[in-house]
Amino acid sequence: MKELSQLHTARTGYQPKLPSVFYNGPSVKIIKGKAGSSVSDHDKIKALFPNTYGMPTIGFEKTDIAEYRPLNLGVILSGGQAPGGHNVIAGLYDGLKACHPDSKLYGFLGGPSGLTDNKYLELEADFIADFRNTGGFDMIASGRTKLEKKEQYEATAKNCKALEIEALVVIGGDDSNTNAAVLAEYFAQNGVNISVIGVPKTIDGDLKNEMVEASFGFDTATKVYNELIGNIQRDANSAKKYWHIIKLMGRSASHIALECALRTQPNYAIISEEVEAKKQTLHEIVDELTQVVVKRSNNKEDFGTLIVPEGLIEFIPEMKALISELNDLMAVNEKELNTIKDSETKRNYILDKLQSETSALYRSLPKQIAEQLIMERDPHGNVQVSLIDTDKLLVYMIAEQLEILRAQGKYNGKFKTHTHFFGYEGRCSFPSNFDADYTYALGYTASLLAENKCTGYMSSVRNLIDSAENWIPGGIPMTQMMNMERRHGEDKPVIKKALVDLNGLPFKTFVANRDKWAIETSYIYPGPIQYFGPAAISEIKTITLELEHQ
């Protein structure tokens, strides 16, 4: 038996809480709600998903008798890690076994490729026990293989049928659940009797809507980042000589940056969605940051903290246009670009093919940033923003501005900096009590959706601001969350990302306080996640969730 840490041992003994509708186990019946339509592009989405479009939402109601036959279910983890993934699987297992003791759960190894390559493991109680309430995806591992070809669908169907699997659960983010929706439609169109169900995972917080109030992992990851930011801010306030520029994970939305700003009160936090709405240029952003540095220096405080969202560069309109053109250009010229090994030659090749305005912008960027913008895209066609040194670019440009002001006699301070990127640090932490409960409930809910032959649905647990007993489990059609987006030079159906709502209370609360935080040192030091003790500290929820439910 492998050795476990004391915390690990204690956490595996934690029993996650469930909504009261599941207090008698799976003695529930399906309640159908209203049928919905896609977020936009209704006709196009309907044409692509004729069998799974326009389905009703699903809820559960207690019943005295519910009989279930044995069910074999498969599960994969897809995409980046998020705290709580293991508890989704534990919830799936417990739900299945509560329905019928002869049911089986198979974990496909390494993500979607496990489905196509037929690499799997039957998950049993003793094996799952050591992973309950723990972080990471190492129980069955994850992967980023995109399921998009007929051969992959056929291989998946063949491998599932060989194990007599009747339902497949995909635990992933917006792209992974888009794949799940496409797979569900393919099975439905081709008479394959396998249900496909999604589970909303991403620490970025951008997979949510009316029925999916939060993606799992967001609560834990932001708590981890808040502890780190708080530690840095205490150090900054102690040494009083460094500016700390902190880049936070969040490829396509600034939910993490906003939550961390609300919880730790840094001197400045950039919210990408506001940058896009204001149509700010890179130089305008730098001007604002520079003024904060100068004002604090005038108050004898040559130190501070700045939070930068990982995906900022894609929200600056001029940069967004450049990246969009680069994406199409690289998709069309992929073969030729792959033959060019020298970075300078590749950069010049790109420059020759860009339009005049974007070419001028691209030429003006520091060489390192220019090269990072043309690195290989991820499997979904997205630029890998985590590899772009946006934080260092801002430091470079702020330093240049300060030297100009120094020459003009308008600045006489010191600008010493440290840059940080917090991403992986938050992806595999032991889940908070909230995420441990939430993910377990999502898994249990998914098992009931599978038992009731629901396909093309995402597991949903709502009313999260309340205690777990009052949470509302159900399912939402994945096509209801879709729109058309440009990917690899083509229009593709994808689940729409939920961005920061600039009219929402979380952002308005931030705006109401940021001018004060910019000049005054108002830091908060949240400390580490608490798993035990009074509910006031062990059951604390994100400020984002609290404000969204006011």
- DSSP letters for 315-373: TSHHHHHHHHHHHHHHHHTHHHHHT---HHHHHHHHHHHS-HHHHHHHHHS-HHHHHHT
Structure tokens of 366? 């520091």
CA distances from 520 to 291, 361, 399, 479, 524 (A): 14, 36, 22, 47, 12
- For 468, which DSSP code? G
CA–CA separation, 166 vs 194, rounded Å?
5
Q: Is residue 419 within 8 Å of residue 392, measured between CB atoms?
A: yes
Cα 367 versus chain centre, distance: 30
- For 487, which DSSP code? E
Structure tokens of 181? 């929706």
Contact partners, residue 468, CB within 8 Å, separation at least 6: 17, 18, 19, 437, 441
- For 429, which DSSP code? S
Q: What sign for the dihedral angle of Cα 14, 99, 452, 159?
A: positive
CA–CA separation, 483 vs 480, rounded Å?
9
Largest CA distance in the chain: 81
Q: Is residue 112 within 8 Å of residue 143, measured between CB atoms?
A: yes
DSSP-derived pairing of the beta strands 243-248 and 417-422:
parallel
Contact partners, residue 172, CB within 8 Å, separation at least 6: 76, 77, 78, 79, 179, 180, 198, 199, 201, 202
Structure tokens of 472? 């509302």
Q: Is residue 207 within 8 Å of residue 283, measured between CB atoms?
A: no
- 138 catalytic, yes or no? no
For residue 478, the cross-strand partners are: none
Structure tokens of 439? 């993910």
Q: Is residue 226 within 8 Å of residue 305, measured between CB atoms?
A: no
Task: For residue 154, give the 3-state DSSP assignment.
Answer: helix
- Closest alpha carbon to 177 in 501, 496, 498: 496
CA–CA separation, 201 vs 438, rounded Å?
11
Task: For residue 29, give the 3-state DSSP assignment.
Answer: strand
Catalytic residue among 94, 174, 175, 204: 204
Q: What sign for the dihedral angle of Cα 212, 213, 216, 221?
A: positive
CA–CA separation, 383 vs 112, rounded Å?
21
Angle of helix 218-239 relative to helix 255-264, nearest 10 degrees?
50
In angstroms, the first-to-last Cα distance of the chain is 48
Residues known to be catalytic: 204
